[in-house]
Every structure is written in structure tokens, then in C-alpha cells.
Amino acid sequence: MPLTNTLDLNQLAERMNAWASERNTQRGRLVRAFRANLGNSPDRQAARLALLIAEAA
């Protein structure tokens, strides 16, 4: 199922894998925070995911 008109889940996962190693970028920090579930909050995770989808699209 596509997340946007041009992005599917596999593409998002590939981009997140590439971004995770970026140490000094906001998207790298965002991916690491998403994967670590910092704060253990579903609302924050949803917000992080929305930002990652927007960045990837």
C-alpha cells in the first residue's frame, strides 16, 4: 500500500536505513529517535513517522 502517490513502505524503509547513519542531520536523529521509541509515546512516534514520510516524499 502506498504511503503517498510516489512512496511505498519499502522505499521509506530504504531511505530510513540510509539516513540512520547520518550523524549530524535532523533526519538522521529523527530516524534514530523513531527506532529507539524515545519517550515511549504513541503520539510522538506518529509525529516522527509523519515527519519521516514528509521528508522521504
**Quick one: pLDDT at residue 47?**
94
**What is the CB neighbour count within 10 angstroms for residue 28?**
16
Identify the pLDDT of residue 56: 86
H, E, C per residue of 1-57: CECCCCCEHHHHHHHHHHHHCCCCCHHHHHHHHHHHCCCCCHHHHHHHHHHHHHHHC
In the numeric block, the cell 542531520 is attached to 25
**Predicted pLDDT at 2:** 63
The pLDDT tens digits for 2-56 are 666 677 888 889 999 999 999 999 999 999 999 999 889 999 999 999 999 898 8
